[in-house]
Structure 1
Amino acid sequence: MDYTFQNLLGAPYRGGNAVIIQNTQLISPVGNRVSVTDLNKHHTITLPVSSSSNICRLAASPDGTFLIAVDENNRCLFINLPRRVILHRMTFKDKVGALKFSTDGEYIAVGVGKLVQIWRSPGFSKLVFAFELIRTFANSDDKVVSLEWSLDSDYLLVGSKDLAARLFCVRKLRGVLNKPFLFVGHRDSVVGCFFGVDKSTNKVNRAFTIARDGYMFSWGYSVKDVKMDESEDVPSPDTPERADVVMAENGGGIVTNQRKRKEYDGKDRDLEGEEEDYLHRGKWVLLRKDGFNQGGAKVTACDYHKGLDMVVVGFSNGVFGLYQMPDFICIHLLSISREKITTAIFNERGNWLTFGCAKLGQLLVWEWRSESYILKQQGHFFDVNCVTYSPDSQFLATGADDNKVKVWNVASGSCFITFTEHTNAVTALHFMADNHSLLSASLDGTVRAWDFRRYKNYKTYTTPTPRQFVSLTADPSGDVVCAGTLDSFEIFVWSKKTGQIKDILNGHEAPVHGLMFSPLTQILASSSWDKTVRLWDVFASKGTVETFQHNHDVLTVAFRPDGKQLASSTLDGQIHFWDTIEGLLMYTIEGRRDIAGGRNMTDRRSAANSSAGKCFTTLCYSADGSYILAAGTSRYICMYDISDQVLLRRFQITHNLSLDGVLDFLNSKKMTEAGPMDLIDDDDSDEEGGIDKQTRGNLSYDLPGSRPNRGRPIIRTKSISIAPTGRSFAAATTEGVLIYSIDDSFIFDPTDLDMDVTPDAVENAIKENEVSRALALSMRLNEDSLIKKCIFAVAPGDIKAAAISVSQKYLERLIEALVELLENCPHLEFLLHWCQEICKAHGSYIQRNYRNLLPALISLQKAITRAHQDLADMCSSNEYTLRYLCSVPNDH
């Protein structure tokens, strides 16, 4: 199966700054990846590109085509957003504190440590070294943390931690000493600096600087001739000779070297021109100083909207304020979080405010006029422990150490329900067959049943004395609920309807971590650390039916979809496959080498010599039962062919070096007497926009050697679930829930092609009304757009003949095309007619080969069911409306 990364759920925001393009597209960093949220459609996707470590700074071009992402290792990615590909890569020499495209998109300003570098935007040019350094300003005495361009891209306002802001003229002006103007008087770091615009002239006439201690300075501009001092030329540090920039001795200003070439844009600027007295020959004065009055809270994020002349400010206590300038009138002052706000931005129109809280994983979009939420997402605060698909593959449920159960819409990537009734870590989940009921087990000693149509917990299953539950399942008919315990080694069986305990299964001598009912029979399988897998007949009350002995602790168990085979994973890294009817061992897969992960920072042994983590803690069969997915405390997910016992593929779930266990070999240069250099926290505790270093949640029953170190989370996969359609699978990892799906890109079979099979031949067949031949040719080309065009080219009366003419080997591809059309096309009756005729024409073939066609058939059922639900809701609404209209007396 050609599975590729599709999306990342469970962690909408992890830190850094967010940006908005095209007024409704929200771009936010998620670990070492970037997610894009359409705020109109509430649809979230995660780009398939990734950086080497956590992304801390983003900037988008004004037209929304290009995105720059810089990570903690100062590595930069230049991304084409529409194509979702990386165009260029480079590495900066110091930490990047600020990053911004110029207003015209031609240049990029980068705050690299104390320097401000001006780079030419690579754009669509194909160059060996695409990034060209134009100028470097070295006037700041501390780290640069804020940048703002003027409307004409000629001036740059820079705020830094040296308690000052500076105004630079980016263009080189002939005969002018380009000495920056200093905005001073702040008592703390300048976290934001912005230009104010005169709407009548569309020119800069004001500036605003916001200090970290909660004060805002408003500056006014007045034109006044200022005598420029002459100075000798002194080379500027870290500036290439081609930039022709020299430093002034008296103040560090930047001037043009007249003896070298002309300015970088190819145009000499003349002081006698009409615009030459704009910002560089006037004087800036302090107009007013205002305080936000938030006590000891610090300013951690801010933004300014030029059109509305408004400022939004986020504080370290989770409060944000919205102020109307220039009179500094407070419009809103609200608390949205318990932790500091790490990003706060306006959209292009200024009607929406976006806030992010890195520590809690919150991402909010708020419409300030109507005081309503456009988007409200929060990921799991700690690791996700369990994940499961709904029977129709539309929803995904997750449970984590933060005591929460979340339900996600797979198609949109958004969480629409969060249940918070559990008081301890959620350890297991199970969807009921009715598709809208969910069971969850927790260490708090309860098993809860949720109805996410009514958004409520409608049943709670408990025990006479408190127990800690770590496994959960329910029989296919939904009559009984079973849960395995961590402390008493028992399996409790409840009646789903009454909530009464029907039975307590005893026999295991260690925690029961695996529990699953056979999909087709009423046999319950349980696995335990006592080296056994036991089969129980719950309804006959016969106790243990069969016991499968192992040589090591059994970590998990899974049934094949037909119930005739059972897989169990043991602590020695092996997967055993048992025949449940004969009770015999069928196959054994040795997976220690395949699952072996990287080396942790605190490991004293190399990854090859360490035995820790070399075992599978979660298993999941494919929809047809031909292969199995397995994962554990490793950066890999392994896919095995069961009949041949061979490794088909290994999925590396991350390349993020900010996590432990990704590298095979550690760099000895980073070892110090105090320990690994990466674990020594020497950063400012109130660093803006960074990702807080915290220890991930760790349950008491984690395997030996898998406990996270004090500094960085360890990469692992705690749970895997394959969608019933077989088209995708979800993995609960340290980074969040990763969704992998089958790649639907353009693929064709060259053995079935000849010189006559071309797109033109398909078009000609449609024009000649030979629709069956056109459909056959499009199937051989396997081009999605042509297949759909041929489907719609068939007249309703000819659908039966066209369905009969379809070759059986192309039947699955045709069903997949119909599924996609049913989900995105309004011609419901026409498409249902197609589905009906295909089932009539190829019914016997479908019955004989149902296992191969099962993923496509389940997808078709899912699409038809969704269409039926939407149509039923619409009909019900229309029926009530008509009844109301008929009941209203007609007085006219």
Structure 2
Amino acid sequence: MNYRFQNLLGAPYRGGNVVVSGNNQLISSVGNRISVTDLVKSNTITLPCQFSANIIRIAVSPDGNFILAVDENSKAQFINIHRRIVLHRITFKGKVSALQFSPNGQFIAVAVGKLIQIWRSPGFRKEFFAFELVRTFADFDDTVSCLNWSPDSGYLIAGSRDLTVRLFCLRKLKEFKNNKPFLFLGHRDVIVGVFFGVDKKTCKILRVYSVSRDGGLFSWGCPDFDGSLGGKGEKDEEMVDPPSPGTPEKMDEEGGIGGDGVIAVVDVKKRKEFDEKEGDFGDEGSEFLLHKLKWELLKKDYFMQAPAKVTACDYHQGIDMVVVGYSSGVFGWYQMPDFVCIHQLSISREKITTAVFNDLGNWLTFGCARLGQLLVWEWKSESYILKQQGHYFDVNCLAYSPDSQLLATGADDNKIKVWNVSSGFCFVTFPEHTNAVTALHFMANNHSLLSASLDGTVRAWDLFRYRNFRTFTTPSSKQFVSLTADQSGEVICAGTLDSFEIFVWSMKTGRLLDVLSGHEGPVHGLMFSPSNAILASSSWDKTVRLWDVFEGKGSVETFQHVHDVLTVVYRPDGKQLACSTLDGLINFWDPLDGALMYTIEGRRDIAGGRLMTDRRSAANSTSGKYFTTLSYSADGSYILAGGSSKFICMYDIAEQVLLRRFQITHNLSLDGVLDVLNSKKMTEAGPLELIDDDNSDTEEGIDKQTRGKLGLDLPGSMPNRGRPVIRTKCLRIAPTGRSFVAATTEGVLVYSVDESFIFDPTDLDIDVTPEAVDAALNEDQHSRALILSLRLNEDSLMKKCILSVNPADIPAVASSIPFRYLQRLIEALTELLEGCPYLEFILRWCQEICKVHGQSIQQNSRNLLPALKSLQKAITSSHQDLAEMCSSNEYSLRYLCSTAVKK
């Protein structure tokens, strides 16, 4: 029961901006969650914290320890990345359009509507209200669209939808009139990006760049300067003297504002040291007046990509380059200040919604929200560091590989993707289907995958060569919605949506062997028994039928139900059958005796929220109160059930009780999450969220995208105008039993068992203590020490006892372990195998356990199956790693031997 959210697959990026931290971690928003991708270790995780709506802006602190993220409801969370916990929360009074930490990490600039607010950055400590508002700038006439800090954290430049750019000074001046921002005019479209140009050697501000949506890049400078902002002649050195800490900066008498218009130089390093000592913007008498210069337009450059618009841009001060993304899916980067185009490349057919540099400037990161695409491009070698793309539409079906290392997903975008569960990356995509993929099935050999689609084909995929090696078709075109294969992999069966038949093919020849007729409705459930060759099928004709495919006897037995049967699954040992019906019941049958064993009524448990278009309240509505997907646990003791609801239910089968309900999301941007709708958002034209604003130029996400192609799977989809409805389309528990996945509206959610906070001893006695274990080890009583640690059920003690055994004594110690502790011992060996360098030693343990307890393991395979599957997964993973290493070493040795012979 101790499943916790671990990761989110199938949607690496859904909109908003993307940030790359200093330690090469790529931080992006996925709906109302935050995904963190390590570009060096090549893995991705999703933080467990959720927002109340889709995230629109993310900022990361300069040291890479904190994230500040804001959602559509202007609610922000301040998150510790390493601990993955929320430290502080704040709600802004308006929609946030831009967000950025200052380079020194002390302040945060937030664009809230027409205002720019400067907040003091919170720290590690938890406080009652950690955010402190320091300054507010209210000079714009329209929404602020972008902002950027100067490298010394003393200035802020911002662009707005009123076509202006303003330069703000954060120092507190004596006279209010002296603190007015400098105004840059000349753009004819919304400002997309503003940046400070800094000299590489002296770290001094040279110029200002501003980019507008119509493709204009304006360079601004001050003609009074010699190019280094150092003034004229010999006065440079006099004016770069650092101010004394704690005292106002003093202007040179001859170079002051009243003289020839030259001011003190902006020295970034010295200014940063001063700020760190001061800890604030300065005293009232400070005169740090970069914004009082007479900035002029030096140069106008245009990207010449009309009619495409500029949708994203970024500037790197170290290499003095600008990267730009367009609405046509093309990106380019330019060397400044000469505006030399280095390269242009098309990466998408949709608009690029974010484009950023990493800290070193050698990697470019691009995101396309509509396609769910995230790319990291190394521009020097012109190669991809990362290339991930989620499904365009909702995921329909899932399949775990037998060793639980791979996960296959099929969706309405006609694509199949195979993911590595441990890293969270998709490593292959199969796009050959021409219609929605409705069912997936991994073969027992772990090297091939089957898929069924509405395009009338069933395809077999080779996961070694990544190709479609066999296609199964029917004489006339059918729409397949269910799929299965027998344990030997010789027979493939698929159920149809339109003709209500089950087609049987030979895997070796691809020839159609049989057509099973008898159902009077769509066959949405299909599964072979794990113990024999009996095929179970469920249909909307209110029946579950058992078929003897190999003997050709047709329907062996029929189980009648009162309502339509939506799905059917076998228990892993094949001695029980579960099916869900339209009235919200889960019926458990004995397939041998044909008797009804248990019935679970889950209408109240699965009941979800209220849709915007519902005429009735959630309590009185009958829609969605049934289960569309079921999955047995690895040992068959409990079952997971999901449907058109925000809940996933876990039931104990023997007791017929609800063990736990998982709420898959708290995202209010999705329909069906709220139980009670807010009457304040109801207008005469209907709910406020469903009123289309045709004049809005929203750049993020998939707001009005039609989700899915199956009308029967989308109740209320037409009046809902494409607003996503929360649901669970498929559930699968891993063969190891340590995790399960759910195909939901937000993506594929991965839940995993976390045993770090569980103390679950067995046969605990007053003499079973850690001290007793240590005493037994000191006396070289390894068998007694291991049994005591297994009874105490402490991971560290069990591993310590296992590793202390002499290799020659392993057979004797393994034979002394009672069978009731065997499962825990296998789990401990699995954990050691995943993170221990003593591979041969652990494999010797596994070998001796199989020799000594082989018969007992075979007789109690159902209870030990999850632990054995986990052990198999760990051994397979180690084998793959060693195989790759050995193969590489073999070719290296061959090369070295051949060169030695030639010499």
Q: Do the aligned partners of residues 373 and 760 (structure 1) sit closer, same or farther apart at CA in structure 2, a change above 3 Å counting?
A: farther
Query: TM-score, normalization: structure 2?
Result: 0.90
Following superposition, the deviation at residue 803 of structure 1 comes to 4.2
Following superposition, the deviation at residue 620 of structure 1 comes to 1.1
* Residue 432 of structure 1 pairs with residue 433 of structure 2: no
Trace 1:386-785 onto structure 2 (pairs within 5 A): 386-682=397-693, 685-689=696-700, 691-702=702-713, 709-749=720-760, 779=790, 782=793, 784-785=795-796
Following superposition, the deviation at residue 684 of structure 1 comes to 5.2
Check the 8 A contact 1:748/1:780 in 2, yes or no. no
Q: Distance in 2 between matches of 1:465 and 1:702?
A: 25
Q: Do the aligned partners of residues 145 and 891 (structure 1) sit closer, same or farther apart at CA in structure 2, a change above 3 Å counting?
A: closer
Check the 8 A contact 2:436/2:709 in 1, yes or no. no
Partner of 1:209: 210
Q: What is the Cα-based RMSD across aligned positions, in Å?
A: 2.5
SS in 1 for 2:713: coil
Check the 8 A contact 2:171/2:281 in 1, yes or no. no
Q: Distance in 2 between matches of 1:41 and 1:653?
A: 28
Q: Partner amino acid for 2:72? A: E
Trace 1:147-226 onto structure 2 (pairs within 5 A): 147-174=147-174, 177-221=178-222
Following superposition, the deviation at residue 698 of structure 1 comes to 3.5
Following superposition, the deviation at residue 751 of structure 1 comes to 8.3
Q: Partner amino acid for 2:752? A: S
Q: Do the aligned partners of residues 268 and 531 (structure 1) sit closer, same or farther apart at CA in structure 2, a change above 3 Å counting?
A: closer
Q: Distance in 2 between matches of 1:379 and 1:617?
A: 24
Check the 8 A contact 2:613/2:719 in 1, yes or no. no
Aligned length: 852
Note the alpha carbon deviations across 1:366-401, whole angstroms, 9 max, x for none: 111111111111111001110010111110011000
Check the 8 A contact 2:762/2:791 in 1, yes or no. no
Q: 1:337 aligns with which of 343, 348, 370?
A: 348
Query: TM-score, normalization: structure 1?
Result: 0.91
Higher alpha-carbon deviation: 87-96 or 693-702: 693-702
Q: Do the aligned partners of residues 884 and 329 (structure 1) sit closer, same or farther apart at CA in structure 2, a change above 3 Å counting?
A: closer
SS in 2 for 1:218: strand
Q: Do the aligned partners of residues 79 and 891 (structure 1) sit closer, same or farther apart at CA in structure 2, a change above 3 Å counting?
A: closer
Following superposition, the deviation at residue 214 of structure 1 comes to 0.7
Check the 8 A contact 1:146/1:192 in 2, yes or no. yes
Higher alpha-carbon deviation: 878-887 or 39-48: 878-887
Partner of 2:68: 68
Note the alpha carbon deviations across 1:800-828, whole angstroms, 9 max, x for none: 45545656555433322322332233321
Q: Partner amino acid for 1:26? A: L
Q: Distance in 2 between matches of 1:755 and 1:308?
A: 68
Note the alpha carbon deviations across 1:430-462, whole angstroms, 9 max, x for none: 111110111101110100000021010000001
SS in 2 for 1:376: strand
Following superposition, the deviation at residue 688 of structure 1 comes to 3.7
Check the 8 A contact 2:172/2:284 in 1, yes or no. no
Q: Distance in 2 between matches of 1:784 and 1:104?
A: 43
Q: Distance in 2 between matches of 1:278 and 1:781?
A: 69
Following superposition, the deviation at residue 556 of structure 1 comes to 0.8
Q: Do the aligned partners of residues 449 and 870 (structure 1) sit closer, same or farther apart at CA in structure 2, a change above 3 Å counting?
A: same
Check the 8 A contact 2:580/2:587 in 1, yes or no. yes
Following superposition, the deviation at residue 478 of structure 1 comes to 0.8
Q: Which runs of 5+ in 2 are unaligned?
A: 230-276
Note the alpha carbon deviations across 1:220-276, whole angstroms, 9 max, x for none: 146689xxxxxxxxxxxxxxxxxxxxxxxxxxxxxxxxxxxxx9946854868xxx5
Following superposition, the deviation at residue 749 of structure 1 comes to 3.7
Q: Distance in 2 between matches of 1:544 and 1:126?
A: 66
Q: Do the aligned partners of residues 758 and 296 (structure 1) sit closer, same or farther apart at CA in structure 2, a change above 3 Å counting?
A: farther
Q: Distance in 2 between matches of 1:341 and 1:57?
A: 16
Q: 1:299 aligns with which of 275, 291, 310?
A: 310
Q: Distance in 1 between matches of 2:187 and 2:781?
A: 78
Q: Distance in 1 between matches of 2:702 and 2:516?
A: 46
Following superposition, the deviation at residue 513 of structure 1 comes to 0.8
Q: Distance in 2 between matches of 1:594 and 1:37?
A: 36
Q: Do the aligned partners of residues 775 and 702 (structure 1) sit closer, same or farther apart at CA in structure 2, a change above 3 Å counting?
A: same
* Residue 99 of structure 1 pairs with residue 110 of structure 2: no
Following superposition, the deviation at residue 552 of structure 1 comes to 0.9
Higher alpha-carbon deviation: 726-735 or 748-757: 748-757
SS in 1 for 2:712: coil
Following superposition, the deviation at residue 5 of structure 1 comes to 0.9
Q: Partner amino acid for 1:580? A: P
Check the 8 A contact 1:708/1:714 in 2, yes or no. no
Q: Distance in 1 between matches of 2:296 and 2:172?
A: 24
Note the alpha carbon deviations across 1:291-333, whole angstroms, 9 max, x for none: 0100111111111111010010111111111011111110011
Q: Partner amino acid for 2:386? A: L
Q: Partner amino acid for 1:747? A: I
Partner of 1:289: 300
Note the alpha carbon deviations across 1:344-372, whole angstroms, 9 max, x for none: 00011111111000011111111111111
Check the 8 A contact 1:528/1:553 in 2, yes or no. yes
Following superposition, the deviation at residue 773 of structure 1 comes to 6.5
Higher alpha-carbon deviation: 165-174 or 18-27: 165-174
Following superposition, the deviation at residue 832 of structure 1 comes to 1.1
Higher alpha-carbon deviation: 835-844 or 323-332: 835-844
Q: Distance in 2 between matches of 1:822 and 1:161?
A: 58
SS in 2 for 1:616: coil
Check the 8 A contact 2:711/2:717 in 1, yes or no. no
Q: Do the aligned partners of residues 784 and 311 (structure 1) sit closer, same or farther apart at CA in structure 2, a change above 3 Å counting?
A: farther
Q: Distance in 2 between matches of 1:504 and 1:780?
A: 55
Q: Distance in 2 between matches of 1:270 and 1:496?
A: 82
Q: Do the aligned partners of residues 691 and 479 (structure 1) sit closer, same or farther apart at CA in structure 2, a change above 3 Å counting?
A: closer
Q: Distance in 2 between matches of 1:143 and 1:763?
A: 68
Check the 8 A contact 1:695/1:709 in 2, yes or no. no
Q: 2:363 aligns with which of 321, 343, 352?
A: 352
SS in 1 for 2:879: helix
SS in 2 for 1:526: strand
Check the 8 A contact 2:98/2:144 in 1, yes or no. yes
Higher alpha-carbon deviation: 89-98 or 851-860: 851-860
Following superposition, the deviation at residue 288 of structure 1 comes to 0.6
Following superposition, the deviation at residue 783 of structure 1 comes to 5.0
Q: Partner amino acid for 1:197? A: V
Q: Do the aligned partners of residues 198 and 756 (structure 1) sit closer, same or farther apart at CA in structure 2, a change above 3 Å counting?
A: farther
Check the 8 A contact 2:23/2:64 in 1, yes or no. no
Following superposition, the deviation at residue 692 of structure 1 comes to 3.0
Higher alpha-carbon deviation: 311-320 or 708-717: 708-717
Q: Distance in 1 between matches of 2:110 and 2:894?
A: 64
Q: Distance in 1 between matches of 2:288 and 2:88?
A: 38
Partner of 1:308: 319
Partner of 1:122: 122
Higher alpha-carbon deviation: 398-407 or 146-155: 146-155
Q: Distance in 1 between matches of 2:775 and 2:281?
A: 56
Check the 8 A contact 1:302/1:345 in 2, yes or no. yes
SS in 2 for 1:817: helix
Q: Do the aligned partners of residues 348 and 268 (structure 1) sit closer, same or farther apart at CA in structure 2, a change above 3 Å counting?
A: closer
Q: Do the aligned partners of residues 789 and 269 (structure 1) sit closer, same or farther apart at CA in structure 2, a change above 3 Å counting?
A: farther
Following superposition, the deviation at residue 52 of structure 1 comes to 0.6
Q: Distance in 2 between matches of 1:194 and 1:442?
A: 50
Q: Distance in 1 between matches of 2:86 and 2:773?
A: 35
Q: Do the aligned partners of residues 843 and 97 (structure 1) sit closer, same or farther apart at CA in structure 2, a change above 3 Å counting?
A: same
Q: Distance in 2 between matches of 1:785 and 1:184?
A: 67
Q: Distance in 1 between matches of 2:99 and 2:766?
A: 53
Q: Percent identity?
A: 73
Q: Do the aligned partners of residues 62 and 634 (structure 1) sit closer, same or farther apart at CA in structure 2, a change above 3 Å counting?
A: same
Q: Do the aligned partners of residues 293 and 763 (structure 1) sit closer, same or farther apart at CA in structure 2, a change above 3 Å counting?
A: farther
